[in-house]
Amino acid sequence: MVQTSTAPLPSSARPYVGTGQRRIDGVSKVTGQARYAAEFPADGLLYGHVVSGGALASGEILRIDTRAAEAVAGVVRVYTHENRPRQPWFDSTYQDQVAPPGIPFRPLKDAKIVYSGQPVALVVAQSLEVAAYAASLLEITYREEPFRTDLAAEQSNAYVPPEKRAGIEPPPPDRGDVDRALAEAPVKVEASYFVAAEHHNPMETHASTVVWNDGKLTVYDKIQGVVASKEYLNEVFGLSPDDVHVISPFVGGAFGVGLRPQYQLFLATMAALDLRRSVRVTLTRDQMFTLTYRPHTIQHLALGAERDGRLTAIRHEAVAATSTFEDYQEVVVNWSGLGYRCPNVAFDYKLAKLHTYTPSDMRAPGAATGVYGLECAMDELAHAAGIDPLELRLKNYAEEDANTGKPFTSKQLRECYRQGAERFGWSRRSPRPRSMRDGRELIGWGLATGFWEASMQQTSARAVLSADGGLELATATADIGTGTYTILAQIAADAMGVPIEQVDVKIGDSSLPASPLEGGSWTAASAGSAVQKACFGLREQLFHHARAMEGSPLANEVLERIIFTGGRMEVANDPSRSVVVADVMAALGLEKLAAEETAKPDQDAQENYSGYTHSAIFVEVRVDEELNVVRVTRIVDAVAAGRILNLKTARSQILGGVVFGIGMALEEQSELDHRFGRFMNHNIAEYHIPVNADVRDIDVIFVEEHDDKVSPIGVKGLGEIGIVGTAAAIANAIFHATGKRVRDLPITPDKLLRDDVDGVSSGMARAG
């Protein structure tokens, strides 16, 4: 007989989704219990130190003398291109999941040098200190060949990539007659914008611990998707799926650098298989600059408008850097076709091959770059036309995606503008540059719009309910610091009506149900939808069991009328008719009940709608009139991103993106010395990023938005929208403060001090 209850619902019956919950993994992180890739123990562990060939950007190794290194006590093996084990990968065309067209870099393949800093040897020893010391004893002789690392000098050699990168849309077809519209436009701007190369620099450097056990490998890797590393190892080393198990429960930041398996994984696995020992390879901070980066990009924009500010023409062209061996591509210019209503639009996107490593996705790849150019050009157009920058954007507001002609799944950008402007006090802005000041500081107010794609990927998840009320979730997705553990627990707790403390989330393990890489701001929508679907599968099983039991108060009911709350199933509007879930499990003799489901994006929505997240960023800067030092004193970022799962972690995502944007606008630049072809500021001391003193008041507004098309749980994603537009808003505020238009990021004091800064390096803006 099933017992019923009319007791008051416990506090756990309150919904978790939409509230500000603390991270469920927070305690383990701050107490050091959370283990990262280089922290997992293994018996007899050996340590590998990578030798970076930083002497040249192109050429070959003529001689490599390893004798002194091999003579050091504790050194087990020194691997070079001359003695490394033969691998199937060296003769195959295999590419990893996110590889662009071309041939991936293959460490130690041969004597060829294709970029400065590439790994040329691996020293394996009984301790990390011995390996590093022995590595310093290697004597290497090179032959240098001509190289190219200057994007500006290579513009004339730029080309349209012959093969499209998977998942990256090429520029849409031109529409209208841009040349004629520009020629006839009474107001026009034309300018070039420069974005410097940036390296990711997450707190955790890349590392792989490969545990060898009788030919089978357990691999702890820094990666944004364990399935990617597993597939990579299976293909590269010709291993069977059962021989490789990849684990990555915690990732100390990534921002895109962890989307591809990096070379330390190959080297550690190569050594482990050859030596039949467990091997760990950890990259130094300097060596993080020998990996991927946001590509330096040059953009040229021309905008034409009527005197009232209505756009008549947009031309957006871009040349971006790639390596000599892969055609890395981003969506850079497309944003200008969907951002604003305009009848005449033309696009051009080309690549220039440089002797560097292949660039990669870096927080909002393409958008952070392309929207910077577009939004600065819009600010220049507003100034040339004598129109308020916010009014100009509202006048050209796009109600549909003009690139495709499709309606948006949802778009509350107008409300972002309204709420952001009201909170910021935009109406008090004096329009004339250099007209607002406080003592020796010039005050500038600027704004920009943010756009980022909202999508969902197919993801599987498993939910297991225990007789004691514990709920275990499992999916192979990752948590790169975004709060994935917590939001999945929230979704499941609400779905099953249990306290969040009873939910155990397992992720970052290739043996769990399949999940895509964590990237593109799609993880919350994808993994969250899969978890909810798995929990709904559990609900259905429990309900049918409970309804079929003798004397059940749920007899003749339908699942749609059942509420799961407080560990019970109760009939909506009649809590007296309820069943305790634990009683159902006990009556059936079940210790556990499981459901595994796969969530897929809505095909109709994908084909007939465009999904994007939107934001409006308002910025205040103060610029010292004599020193030209810029301080970002206030930012209001109003974001429309569908359903917000966790107010606390969601706000943190936007804060992080905004700080990223501050760095992009004012500080971050990987400095290439074209005489040597290498990045010179390859450490945190000289690669400048925002610190506490650079970050002031950041106010985040989440604009209410309902979206039932992007994902089953109404989520759009927040990981990247925070950076998009932020650099442009800061640049626009600096112009308003100083009257100087700097179009070359980052905007450093020396650029503001130049007398020719307004127009010489970047173009013209005029009202005819």
Residue 53 parent element (H or E):
strand 46-53
Helix (H) or strand (E) holding 281: strand 279-282
- The pair of structure tokens assigned to 446 is 């600027």
The amino acid present at 668, given as its one-letter code, is: E
The confidence score (pLDDT) of residue 12 equals 39
Mean pLDDT value across the chain: 94
pLDDT for position 10: 34
194 pLDDT above the threshold of 80? yes
Residue 9 has pLDDT above 80, yes or no: no
CB atoms within 10 A of CB 624: 15
Provide mean pLDDT across the span 711-719.
Answer: 96
CB 632 within 8 A of CB 666: yes
- Position 516, amino acid: P
Burial tier of 594 (Cβ tally within 10 Å: 0-12, 13-18, 19+): middle
- Please, what is the angle between helix 726-738 and helix 647-666, to 10°? 50
Please give the DSSP secondary-structure letter assigned to residue 535.
H
Q: What is the pLDDT of residues 71-81, one digit of tens each?
A: 999 999 999 99
Nearest to 527 by CA among 562, 566, 482: 482
- Residue 14 pLDDT grade (very low, low, confident, very high; cuts 50, 70, 90): low
Ramachandran sector of residue 405 (left: φ over 0; alpha: ψ -120 to 50; beta: rest): left
CATH 3.30.365.10 residue ranges of the chain are 11-33+456-600, 405-455+603-762
CB 445 within 8 A of CB 425: no
| pLDDT of the residue at 675 | 94
CA distance 65 to 752: 50
Query: Strand locations in 376-418, DSSP E?
Result: 400-401, 406-407
Give the pLDDT score at 757: 67
Question: What type of residue sits at position 244?
Answer: V
Question: Could you give the 3-state DSSP secondary structure of residue 19?
Answer: strand
Asked if the bond preceding 746 is cis, omega within 30° of 0, the reply is: yes
Say if strands 112-113 and 59-65 run parallel, antiparallel, or are unpaired: antiparallel
What DSSP character marks residue 382? H
Q: For the chain, state the CA radius of gyration.
A: 28
State the amino acid at position 346 in one-letter form.
Answer: A
Residue with tokens 């603390």: 22
pLDDT at 16: 96
What is the C-alpha separation between 684 and 680, in angstroms, rounded? 12
The average pLDDT across 742-762 equals: 79
The angle formed by the CA atoms of residues 61, 63 and 65, to the nearest 5 degrees, is 125
Does the pLDDT of residue 94 top 90, yes or no?
Answer: no
Cα atoms found within 13 Å of the Cα of residue 276, Cβ hemisphere only: 2
**Spatial separation of the C-alpha atoms in residues 525 and 272, rounded to whole Å:** 37
Q: Is residue 445's pLDDT more than 70?
A: yes
What local confidence, expressed as pLDDT, does residue 88 receive? 83
What average pLDDT score do residues 292-316 get? 98
Fold of 405-455+603-762: Aldehyde Oxidoreductase; domain 4 (3.30.365)
Q: What is the pLDDT of residue 761?
A: 34
Token duo for residue 139: 């004597």
591 is catalytic: no
Distance CA 529, CA 535 (A): 10
Fold of 11-33+456-600: Aldehyde Oxidoreductase; domain 4 (3.30.365)
Question: What's the pLDDT at 1?
Answer: 32
- The answer for residues whose C-beta is within 8 angstroms of residue 44's C-beta and 6 or more apart is 277, 278
Q: Which amino acid is at 468?
A: D
pLDDT, tens only, 227-238: 999 999 999 999
pLDDT at res. 87: 84
Taking residues 30-48, what's their average pLDDT?
97
Q: Find tokens 């010709």 and name the residue.
A: 238
> How far apart are alpha carbons 127 and 129 in whole angstroms?
5
Over residues 372-399, the pLDDT tens digits come to 999 999 999 999 999 999 999 999 999 9
In angstroms, rounded to a whole number, what is the distance separating the alpha carbons of residues 65 and 12?
66
Cα–Cα distance measured from residue 713 to residue 645, given in angstroms and rounded to the nearest whole number: 9
How does pLDDT run across 643-665, given as a tens digit for each residue? 999 999 999 999 999 999 999 99
CA distance 472 to 474: 7
Q: How far is the C-alpha of 455 from the C-alpha of 179, rounded, in Å?
A: 35
Q: Is the pLDDT assigned to residue 544 strictly greater than 90?
A: yes
Q: 187-195 and 744-745 as β-strands: parallel, antiparallel, unpaired?
A: parallel
As a whole number, mean pLDDT of residues 449-464 equals 98
Bridge-based pairing of strands 437-438 and 406-407 is unpaired
Query: For residue 514, which amino acid is it?
Result: A
* pLDDT over 90, % of the chain: 93
The H or E element that residue 460 is part of is strand 459-466
CA angle 157, 159, 162 (to 5 degrees): 150
Q: Which is the catalytic residue, given 231, 518, 570, 720?
A: 720
Q: Which amino acid is at 437?
A: R
pLDDT bucket at 762, cuts 50 / 70 / 90: very low
* pLDDT exceeds 60 at position 420: yes
Number of H helices, E strands in the chain: 17, 34
Give which of 614, 606, 595 is closest to 711, Cα–Cα: 606
- pLDDT reading at 11 higher than 60: no
